[in-house]
């Protein structure tokens, strides 16, 4: 089979880590008899520098015409340190989510036996932890209108808006994931304070009858943030709104011991996007030291979710596990010999 994959390397370490995932996908294609056609597009600061737009129309067309999108990272200190910048790399990410209809971000969090000692949490707490954060991606405070600043610059405001149908579609996805897993779903909200959270809780409570085999519990976000650290094995599928999901899934990275190990999928109405959850790590850009495993695992999710190539996805996950067991890893997750980003990618491709 032939598949068209859009590559959006983006900024910082994005081009380096995406290049390793491409090596692995080529190797998987050779092994299983598939051909992947890769076409690069501009996004983020790289796109601002080239055409003045962090998500140009040409990139949107490329994504819409592809079977899946493999995305690296966006972000640049030039913009981070300039709060008055009119155009920002992150606007490209938000535009991509909106224009592709990417309403759900799926972030699996699981431990690797060979790296449990790298987690700052006790081994008995993290060993066997395995849950999924299903984050709503196109609503809430990141997209709410109105938002802005007063003319004198002394006041700023953002609004959080959700509709019942937006909540139903993300909750439905969460229930479906729970049905395939351990049949437990946790809704994370702030219903004791926020009107939008009360609508979330009310909507999910009404849906419980549609999924009688799923055990549902409800948790305030501050309590969830604590319990992820105290009892990570308590969770199976966690469903939450945009900002809470952003924060909680990043917090959950400590369970694995490294942000460089967590992949994600953003799915919705049009082409799905697959990306590591870490940022652009500009300090490491061009040094060939960044951990590519989250991007490679994102490519495995691409094979599994977008292309329905389950066996191929399993082979990619298996070779990632073997690379960690063999110590073929980058400096962030080893106390011994550290391999270069490119060396890890080459080993994975050669051993799939």
Catalytic residue among 190, 211, 304, 332: 190
Catalytic residue among 82, 217, 222, 318: 222
Query: Within 10 Å of residue 135's Cβ, how many Cβ atoms?
Result: 27
How far is residue 306's CA from residue 300's CA, in Å, rounded to a whole number?
Answer: 10
Q: What is the largest CA-CA distance in the chain?
A: 62
189 a catalytic residue: no
How far is residue 90's CA from residue 52's CA, in Å, rounded to a whole number?
Answer: 13
**Residue 44, both tokens:** 């983020």
Tell me which DSSP letter residue 52 carries.
S
Catalytic residue among 76, 189, 236, 246: 246
142 a catalytic residue: yes
The C-alpha angle 229, 178, 172, rounded to 5 degrees, equals 110
Residue with tokens 């600043």: 149
How far is residue 239's CA from residue 254's CA, in Å, rounded to a whole number?
Answer: 19
Q: How far is CA 207 from CA 154, 215, 224, in A?
A: 43, 12, 21
Per DSSP, which regions of the chain are E strands?
A: 2-10, 35-40, 68-73, 104-110, 130-136, 148-149, 156-157, 184-189, 215-220, 237-240, 263-267, 273-276
Query: Within 10 Å of residue 125's Cβ, how many Cβ atoms?
Result: 17
318 a catalytic residue: no
222 a catalytic residue: yes
Contacts of 100 (CB under 8 A, 6+ apart): 60, 63, 64, 69, 268, 269, 270, 271, 273
Strands 237-240 and 2-10: unpaired
49 a catalytic residue: no
Catalytic residues: 142, 190, 222, 246, 250
């Amino acid at each position: 089979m032939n598949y068209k994959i859009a590559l959006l390397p983006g900024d910082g370490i994005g081009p380096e880590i995406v290049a390793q995932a491409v090596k692995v996908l080529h190797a998987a294609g050779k092994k299983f008899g598939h051909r992947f056609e890769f076409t690069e597009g501009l996004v983020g600061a790289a796109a601002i520098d080239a055409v003045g737009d962090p998500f140009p129309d040409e990139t949107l067309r490329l994504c819409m015409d592809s079977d899946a999108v493999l995305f690296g990272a966006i972000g640049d200190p030039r913009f981070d340190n300039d709060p008055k910048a009119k155009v920002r790399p992150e606007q490209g990410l938000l535009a991509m989510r909106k224009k592709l209809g990417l309403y759900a971000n799926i972030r699996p969090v699981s431990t690797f036996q060979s790296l449990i000692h790298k987690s700052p949490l006790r081994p008995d707490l993290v060993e066997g932890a395995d849950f999924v954060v299903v984050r709503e991606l196109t609503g809430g405070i990141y997209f709410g209108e109105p938002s802005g600043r007063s003319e004198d610059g002394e006041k700023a405001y953002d609004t959080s808006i959700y509709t019942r149908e937006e909540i139903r579609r993300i909750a439905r996805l969460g229930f479906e994931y729970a049905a395939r897993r351990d049949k437990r779903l946790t809704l994370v909200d702030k219903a004791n304070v926020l009107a939008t959270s009360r609508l979330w809780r009310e909507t999910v409570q009404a849906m419980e009858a549609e999924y009688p085999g799923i055990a549902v519990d409800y948790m305030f976000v501050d309590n969830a943030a604590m319990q992820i650290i105290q009892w990570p094995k308590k969770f199976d599928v966690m469903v939450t709104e945009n900002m809470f999901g952003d924060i909680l899934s990043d917090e959950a990275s400590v369970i694995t011991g490294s942000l460089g190990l967590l992949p994600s999928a953003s799915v919705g109405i049009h082409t799905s996007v697959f990306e590591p959850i870490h940022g652009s790590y500009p300090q490491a850009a061009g040094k060939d030291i960044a951990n590519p495993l989250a991007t490679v695992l994102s490519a495995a999710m691409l094979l599994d979710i977008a292309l329905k190539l389950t066996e191929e996805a399993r082979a990619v996950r298996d070779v990632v596990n073997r690379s960690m067991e063999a110590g073929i890893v980058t400096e962030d997750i080893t106390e011994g010999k550290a391999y270069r980003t490119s060396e890890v990618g080459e080993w994975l491709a050669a051993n799939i």
